[in-house]
Structure 1
Amino acid sequence: MRSDLILIGVIGKAHGVRGLVRVHSYADDPATLEEYEALQDEQGRSWSLRWRGADGVAELRDARGNLISDRTAAQALVNTRLYVSRDLLPETEEEEFYHSDLIGMEAWEGTASLGRILMVHDYGGGASLEIEGGLIIPFTRACVPEVDLAARTVRIVRPAEVSGEEGQGVSGRSAEQQV
Protein backbone atom coordinates (compact mmCIF):
# COMPACT_ATOMS: atom_id res chain seq x y z
CA MET A 1 0.00 0.00 0.00
CA ARG A 2 1.24 3.52 -0.79
CA SER A 3 2.67 5.49 2.12
CA ASP A 4 0.91 8.71 1.06
CA LEU A 5 -2.56 7.31 1.74
CA ILE A 6 -4.51 8.51 4.77
CA LEU A 7 -7.25 6.43 6.41
CA ILE A 8 -10.48 8.39 6.05
CA GLY A 9 -13.19 5.83 6.76
CA VAL A 10 -14.18 2.21 7.36
CA ILE A 11 -17.06 0.34 5.77
CA GLY A 12 -19.32 -1.15 8.41
CA LYS A 13 -22.21 -3.57 8.24
CA ALA A 14 -24.67 -3.85 5.38
CA HIS A 15 -27.86 -1.79 5.63
CA GLY A 16 -30.91 -3.35 4.03
CA VAL A 17 -30.93 -5.62 0.98
CA ARG A 18 -30.00 -3.16 -1.79
CA GLY A 19 -26.25 -2.92 -1.17
CA LEU A 20 -26.17 0.07 1.15
CA VAL A 21 -23.53 0.05 3.90
CA ARG A 22 -22.79 1.99 7.06
CA VAL A 23 -19.56 3.94 6.83
CA HIS A 24 -17.63 5.30 9.81
CA SER A 25 -15.93 8.51 8.68
CA TYR A 26 -12.73 9.87 10.23
CA ALA A 27 -13.14 13.23 8.49
CA ASP A 28 -14.18 16.28 10.49
CA ASP A 29 -17.12 16.56 8.12
CA PRO A 30 -18.29 13.14 6.84
CA ALA A 31 -19.90 14.84 3.82
CA THR A 32 -16.41 15.42 2.39
CA LEU A 33 -16.07 11.71 1.61
CA GLU A 34 -18.42 12.26 -1.34
CA GLU A 35 -16.02 14.83 -2.78
CA TYR A 36 -13.15 12.38 -3.27
CA GLU A 37 -13.31 10.87 -6.73
CA ALA A 38 -11.38 7.79 -5.70
CA LEU A 39 -11.28 6.36 -2.23
CA GLN A 40 -8.86 3.44 -2.19
CA ASP A 41 -8.90 0.27 -0.16
CA GLU A 42 -5.97 -1.89 0.98
CA GLN A 43 -6.16 -4.00 -2.19
CA GLY A 44 -5.75 -0.90 -4.38
CA ARG A 45 -9.39 -0.89 -5.55
CA SER A 46 -11.02 2.50 -6.06
CA TRP A 47 -14.45 3.43 -4.72
CA SER A 48 -16.76 6.41 -4.75
CA LEU A 49 -19.31 7.01 -2.03
CA ARG A 50 -22.67 8.78 -1.85
CA TRP A 51 -24.45 9.30 1.46
CA ARG A 52 -28.00 7.97 1.52
CA GLY A 53 -28.97 8.55 5.12
CA ALA A 54 -28.32 10.79 8.07
CA ASP A 55 -26.85 7.97 10.15
CA GLY A 56 -23.79 7.05 8.07
CA VAL A 57 -25.58 4.99 5.42
CA ALA A 58 -23.98 5.17 1.97
CA GLU A 59 -23.94 3.58 -1.45
CA LEU A 60 -20.66 2.54 -3.03
CA ARG A 61 -19.53 2.36 -6.64
CA ASP A 62 -16.38 0.71 -7.91
CA ALA A 63 -13.88 2.38 -10.26
CA ARG A 64 -15.99 1.48 -13.32
CA GLY A 65 -19.09 3.05 -11.81
CA ASN A 66 -20.75 -0.26 -10.92
CA LEU A 67 -23.06 0.15 -7.95
CA ILE A 68 -22.84 -2.32 -5.06
CA SER A 69 -26.47 -3.32 -5.29
CA ASP A 70 -27.09 -6.35 -3.08
CA ARG A 71 -26.63 -7.29 0.54
CA THR A 72 -24.16 -10.13 -0.19
CA ALA A 73 -21.78 -7.79 -2.03
CA ALA A 74 -22.16 -5.19 0.73
CA GLN A 75 -21.40 -7.74 3.45
CA ALA A 76 -18.22 -8.76 1.62
CA LEU A 77 -16.93 -5.19 2.14
CA VAL A 78 -17.43 -5.04 5.93
CA ASN A 79 -14.30 -3.68 7.67
CA THR A 80 -12.80 -2.44 4.40
CA ARG A 81 -10.65 0.58 5.16
CA LEU A 82 -10.99 3.56 2.83
CA TYR A 83 -8.01 5.79 2.13
CA VAL A 84 -7.46 9.06 0.30
CA SER A 85 -4.24 10.45 -1.14
CA ARG A 86 -2.55 12.85 1.29
CA ASP A 87 -2.25 15.59 -1.35
CA LEU A 88 -6.06 15.78 -1.61
CA LEU A 89 -6.51 16.61 2.06
CA PRO A 90 -6.49 20.17 3.38
CA GLU A 91 -3.37 21.51 5.07
CA THR A 92 -3.52 21.27 8.83
CA GLU A 93 -3.78 24.34 11.03
CA GLU A 94 -1.07 25.18 13.54
CA GLU A 95 -1.18 22.72 16.46
CA GLU A 96 -3.25 20.30 14.32
CA PHE A 97 -1.91 16.96 13.08
CA TYR A 98 -3.08 14.02 11.05
CA HIS A 99 -2.77 10.82 13.08
CA SER A 100 -0.59 9.33 10.36
CA ASP A 101 1.90 12.18 10.89
CA LEU A 102 2.33 11.18 14.54
CA ILE A 103 2.59 7.41 14.07
CA GLY A 104 6.24 6.36 13.93
CA MET A 105 7.58 9.50 15.62
CA GLU A 106 10.16 9.02 18.36
CA ALA A 107 8.88 10.00 21.82
CA TRP A 108 11.41 11.62 24.14
CA GLU A 109 11.19 12.35 27.84
CA GLY A 110 14.13 14.56 28.67
CA THR A 111 17.15 12.82 27.12
CA ALA A 112 15.60 9.33 27.21
CA SER A 113 13.78 7.79 24.29
CA LEU A 114 10.48 6.16 25.28
CA GLY A 115 10.14 4.50 21.87
CA ARG A 116 8.08 5.18 18.79
CA ILE A 117 4.41 6.12 18.64
CA LEU A 118 2.52 3.02 17.54
CA MET A 119 -1.05 4.31 17.45
CA VAL A 120 -3.20 7.34 18.08
CA HIS A 121 -6.41 6.44 19.91
CA ASP A 122 -9.43 8.72 19.99
CA TYR A 123 -12.61 7.35 21.53
CA GLY A 124 -14.32 10.72 21.79
CA GLY A 125 -12.86 11.97 25.05
CA GLY A 126 -9.63 13.24 23.52
CA ALA A 127 -6.74 11.61 21.71
CA SER A 128 -4.01 9.59 23.36
CA LEU A 129 -0.71 8.28 22.03
CA GLU A 130 0.28 4.64 22.41
CA ILE A 131 4.05 4.32 22.64
CA GLU A 132 6.10 1.14 22.29
CA GLY A 133 6.01 -0.88 25.49
CA GLY A 134 2.33 -0.12 26.12
CA LEU A 135 2.68 3.41 27.50
CA ILE A 136 -0.45 5.51 26.83
CA ILE A 137 -0.08 9.29 27.04
CA PRO A 138 -2.91 11.82 26.69
CA PHE A 139 -2.33 13.93 23.58
CA THR A 140 -2.62 17.26 25.35
CA ARG A 141 -0.31 20.28 25.39
CA ALA A 142 0.57 19.49 29.03
CA CYS A 143 1.69 15.93 28.24
CA VAL A 144 3.01 16.52 24.71
CA PRO A 145 4.32 20.09 24.75
CA GLU A 146 6.36 19.75 21.56
CA VAL A 147 5.75 18.05 18.22
CA ASP A 148 8.57 18.43 15.69
CA LEU A 149 7.30 17.16 12.34
CA ALA A 150 10.60 17.83 10.57
CA ALA A 151 12.65 15.85 13.12
CA ARG A 152 9.85 13.26 13.56
CA THR A 153 10.00 13.60 17.37
CA VAL A 154 7.66 14.50 20.20
CA ARG A 155 8.58 15.59 23.70
CA ILE A 156 6.62 13.85 26.45
CA VAL A 157 5.91 15.00 30.00
CA ARG A 158 4.20 12.10 31.73
CA PRO A 159 1.48 12.94 34.22
CA ALA A 160 2.15 11.78 37.79
CA GLU A 161 -0.35 8.94 37.31
CA VAL A 162 1.94 7.19 34.78
CA SER A 163 5.43 8.43 35.70
CA GLY A 164 6.14 6.24 38.74
CA GLU A 165 9.04 3.82 39.03
CA GLU A 166 8.54 0.10 38.36
CA GLY A 167 6.55 -1.46 41.22
CA GLN A 168 4.89 1.77 42.28
CA GLY A 169 1.22 2.52 41.94
CA VAL A 170 -0.41 5.52 40.36
CA SER A 171 -0.26 7.49 43.61
CA GLY A 172 3.54 7.25 43.65
CA ARG A 173 3.58 5.10 46.77
CA SER A 174 5.52 1.86 46.69
CA ALA A 175 3.66 -1.45 46.67
CA GLU A 176 4.50 -1.92 50.39
CA GLN A 177 3.02 1.46 51.30
CA GLN A 178 -0.27 0.72 49.47
CA VAL A 179 -1.28 -2.17 51.76
Structure 2
Amino acid sequence: MRADLIQIGVVGRPHGVRGLVHVHSHAADASALEAYRVLVDDKGREWSLRWRGADGVAELRDAQGTPLADRTAAQALVNTRLFVPRDALPEPEEEEFYHADLIGMEARESDCSLGQVVMVHDYGGGASLELTGGVLVPFTRACVPEIDLKGRVVTIVRPVEVSGEEGRGVGAAKAAGPAA
Protein backbone atom coordinates (compact mmCIF):
# COMPACT_ATOMS: atom_id res chain seq x y z
CA MET A 1 0.00 0.00 0.00
CA ARG A 2 1.32 3.45 -0.92
CA ALA A 3 2.26 5.64 2.02
CA ASP A 4 0.64 8.71 0.43
CA LEU A 5 -2.87 7.22 0.56
CA ILE A 6 -5.46 8.13 3.21
CA GLN A 7 -8.43 5.86 3.85
CA ILE A 8 -11.63 7.74 3.03
CA GLY A 9 -14.23 4.97 3.20
CA VAL A 10 -15.06 1.28 3.11
CA VAL A 11 -17.43 -0.72 0.94
CA GLY A 12 -20.28 -2.30 2.86
CA ARG A 13 -22.98 -4.78 1.91
CA PRO A 14 -24.59 -4.93 -1.53
CA HIS A 15 -27.81 -3.01 -2.17
CA GLY A 16 -30.23 -4.78 -4.46
CA VAL A 17 -29.27 -6.93 -7.44
CA ARG A 18 -27.81 -4.33 -9.86
CA GLY A 19 -24.33 -3.93 -8.38
CA LEU A 20 -24.96 -1.05 -5.98
CA VAL A 21 -23.19 -1.08 -2.62
CA HIS A 22 -23.38 0.67 0.72
CA VAL A 23 -20.29 2.82 1.28
CA HIS A 24 -19.31 3.99 4.75
CA SER A 25 -17.57 7.36 4.40
CA HIS A 26 -14.81 8.51 6.75
CA ALA A 27 -15.04 12.05 5.39
CA ALA A 28 -16.71 14.80 7.42
CA ASP A 29 -19.03 15.28 4.44
CA ALA A 30 -19.84 12.00 2.66
CA SER A 31 -20.60 13.84 -0.58
CA ALA A 32 -16.85 14.56 -0.85
CA LEU A 33 -16.24 10.97 -1.98
CA GLU A 34 -18.06 11.68 -5.22
CA ALA A 35 -15.88 14.74 -5.87
CA TYR A 36 -12.63 12.75 -5.85
CA ARG A 37 -11.87 11.66 -9.37
CA VAL A 38 -10.12 8.48 -8.32
CA LEU A 39 -10.52 6.25 -5.29
CA VAL A 40 -7.95 3.49 -4.88
CA ASP A 41 -8.70 0.22 -3.11
CA ASP A 42 -6.51 -2.15 -1.06
CA LYS A 43 -5.35 -3.92 -4.23
CA GLY A 44 -4.45 -0.74 -6.15
CA ARG A 45 -7.55 -0.82 -8.36
CA GLU A 46 -9.03 2.55 -9.25
CA TRP A 47 -12.72 3.42 -8.79
CA SER A 48 -15.06 6.35 -9.13
CA LEU A 49 -18.17 6.70 -6.98
CA ARG A 50 -21.64 8.16 -7.52
CA TRP A 51 -24.11 8.33 -4.68
CA ARG A 52 -27.45 6.73 -5.53
CA GLY A 53 -29.32 7.28 -2.29
CA ALA A 54 -29.34 9.26 0.93
CA ASP A 55 -28.56 6.17 2.99
CA GLY A 56 -25.00 5.60 1.72
CA VAL A 57 -25.93 3.62 -1.39
CA ALA A 58 -23.43 4.16 -4.20
CA GLU A 59 -22.49 3.00 -7.65
CA LEU A 60 -18.83 2.13 -8.09
CA ARG A 61 -17.23 2.25 -11.54
CA ASP A 62 -13.85 0.79 -12.40
CA ALA A 63 -11.03 2.68 -14.14
CA GLN A 64 -12.67 2.06 -17.53
CA GLY A 65 -15.97 3.55 -16.31
CA THR A 66 -17.78 0.21 -16.08
CA PRO A 67 -20.17 -0.14 -13.12
CA LEU A 68 -20.34 -3.30 -11.06
CA ALA A 69 -22.42 -5.77 -13.04
CA ASP A 70 -24.54 -7.37 -10.34
CA ARG A 71 -24.96 -8.33 -6.69
CA THR A 72 -22.21 -10.97 -6.94
CA ALA A 73 -19.68 -8.36 -8.08
CA ALA A 74 -20.84 -6.04 -5.29
CA GLN A 75 -20.56 -8.83 -2.69
CA ALA A 76 -16.96 -9.45 -3.76
CA LEU A 77 -16.06 -5.89 -2.68
CA VAL A 78 -17.53 -6.01 0.84
CA ASN A 79 -14.99 -4.63 3.35
CA THR A 80 -12.80 -3.18 0.59
CA ARG A 81 -11.12 -0.05 1.90
CA LEU A 82 -11.15 3.04 -0.32
CA PHE A 83 -8.30 5.55 -0.31
CA VAL A 84 -7.43 8.91 -1.86
CA PRO A 85 -3.99 10.40 -2.40
CA ARG A 86 -3.01 12.69 0.49
CA ASP A 87 -2.48 15.63 -1.84
CA ALA A 88 -6.14 15.41 -2.97
CA LEU A 89 -7.31 16.24 0.55
CA PRO A 90 -7.50 19.76 1.93
CA GLU A 91 -4.94 20.73 4.55
CA PRO A 92 -6.49 20.31 8.00
CA GLU A 93 -7.40 23.44 9.91
CA GLU A 94 -5.37 24.47 12.94
CA GLU A 95 -6.06 22.06 15.82
CA GLU A 96 -7.34 19.42 13.35
CA PHE A 97 -5.46 16.29 12.31
CA TYR A 98 -5.97 13.39 9.97
CA HIS A 99 -6.04 10.12 11.90
CA ALA A 100 -3.43 8.74 9.50
CA ASP A 101 -1.03 11.49 10.59
CA LEU A 102 -1.39 10.56 14.26
CA ILE A 103 -1.17 6.78 13.92
CA GLY A 104 2.39 5.59 14.39
CA MET A 105 3.55 8.69 16.27
CA GLU A 106 5.55 8.11 19.43
CA ALA A 107 3.64 8.98 22.61
CA ARG A 108 5.83 10.52 25.33
CA GLU A 109 5.02 11.53 28.87
CA SER A 110 7.82 13.57 30.41
CA ASP A 111 10.95 11.68 29.35
CA CYS A 112 9.20 8.30 29.22
CA SER A 113 8.01 6.64 26.01
CA LEU A 114 4.51 5.20 26.30
CA GLY A 115 4.75 3.48 22.91
CA GLN A 116 2.99 4.54 19.75
CA VAL A 117 -0.44 5.76 18.77
CA VAL A 118 -2.02 2.66 17.24
CA MET A 119 -5.58 3.91 16.65
CA VAL A 120 -7.78 6.98 16.95
CA HIS A 121 -11.27 6.23 18.26
CA ASP A 122 -14.31 8.49 18.18
CA TYR A 123 -17.56 7.04 19.44
CA GLY A 124 -19.37 10.37 19.50
CA GLY A 125 -18.30 11.61 22.94
CA GLY A 126 -14.94 12.92 21.77
CA ALA A 127 -11.88 11.31 20.25
CA SER A 128 -9.34 9.24 22.14
CA LEU A 129 -5.91 7.91 21.22
CA GLU A 130 -5.18 4.23 21.74
CA LEU A 131 -1.55 3.67 22.62
CA THR A 132 0.54 0.52 22.41
CA GLY A 133 -0.68 -1.85 25.11
CA GLY A 134 -4.30 -0.70 24.92
CA VAL A 135 -4.05 2.48 27.00
CA LEU A 136 -6.69 5.03 25.92
CA VAL A 137 -6.04 8.73 26.32
CA PRO A 138 -8.69 11.39 25.72
CA PHE A 139 -7.69 13.47 22.70
CA THR A 140 -8.06 16.81 24.43
CA ARG A 141 -5.66 19.71 24.85
CA ALA A 142 -5.32 18.84 28.56
CA CYS A 143 -4.24 15.23 27.85
CA VAL A 144 -2.42 15.85 24.55
CA PRO A 145 -0.96 19.35 24.94
CA GLU A 146 1.58 19.10 22.10
CA ILE A 147 1.69 17.40 18.71
CA ASP A 148 4.94 17.55 16.75
CA LEU A 149 4.00 16.29 13.28
CA LYS A 150 7.51 16.73 11.87
CA GLY A 151 9.16 15.00 14.83
CA ARG A 152 6.36 12.36 14.92
CA VAL A 153 5.85 12.77 18.70
CA VAL A 154 2.74 13.48 20.76
CA THR A 155 3.13 14.70 24.32
CA ILE A 156 0.77 12.94 26.72
CA VAL A 157 -0.42 14.03 30.16
CA ARG A 158 -2.63 11.20 31.33
CA PRO A 159 -5.31 11.83 33.92
CA VAL A 160 -5.06 9.63 37.01
CA GLU A 161 -7.88 7.31 35.88
CA VAL A 162 -5.94 6.27 32.75
CA SER A 163 -2.43 6.50 34.15
CA GLY A 164 -1.80 2.77 33.92
CA GLU A 165 0.46 0.61 36.00
CA GLU A 166 3.18 1.66 38.41
CA GLY A 167 6.65 1.71 36.91
CA ARG A 168 5.59 3.00 33.50
CA GLY A 169 6.81 6.51 34.19
CA VAL A 170 3.62 7.83 35.74
CA GLY A 171 3.67 6.47 39.28
CA ALA A 172 4.15 9.89 40.88
CA ALA A 173 1.10 11.33 39.17
CA LYS A 174 -1.00 8.34 40.17
CA ALA A 175 0.21 8.34 43.76
CA ALA A 176 -0.31 12.08 44.24
CA GLY A 177 -4.06 12.04 43.59
CA PRO A 178 -6.36 14.90 44.53
CA ALA A 179 -5.74 16.87 47.70
CA ALA A 180 -8.01 15.88 50.57
Please give the TM-score of this superposition, normalised by the length of structure 1: 0.90
Residues 92-107 of structure 1 correspond to what in structure 2 (within 5 A)? 92-107=92-107
Moved over 6 A (4+): none
Instruction: Give the drift of 1:91.
Output: 0.6
Instruction: Output the CA distance in 1 between the equivalents of 2:163 and 2:58.
Output: 45
CA deviations 1:53-98 (Å, max 9, x no partner) are 0010000000011111311100100000000000000011111100
Count the aligned residue pairs: 169
After superposing the two structures, state which structure 1 stretch, 125-134 or 94-103, moved more: 125-134
| Structure 2 partner of 1:11 | 11
The one-letter code sitting in structure 1 at the alignment partner of 2:58 is A
Report SS of the residue matched to 1:33. Answer: helix
Share of identical aligned residues, percent?
A: 71
Instruction: Output the CA distance in 2 between the equivalents of 1:76 and 1:31.
Output: 24
The one-letter code sitting in structure 1 at the alignment partner of 2:117 is I
Over the aligned positions, Cα root-mean-square deviation in angstroms equals: 1.5
Instruction: Output the CA distance in 2 between the equivalents of 1:35 and 1:123.
Output: 27
CA distance 1:65–1:164, shift in 2 (3 Å) = closer
Please give the TM-score of this superposition, normalised by the length of structure 2: 0.90
Instruction: Output the CA distance in 2 between the equivalents of 1:114 and 1:90.
Output: 31
Structure 2 alignment gaps of length 5 or more: 167-173, 176-180
Q: Give yes or no for the alignment of 1:79 onto 2:82.
A: no
Structure 1 alignment gaps of length 5 or more: 167-171, 174-179
Residues 1-179 of structure 1 correspond to what in structure 2 (within 5 A)? 1-163=1-163, 165-166=165-166
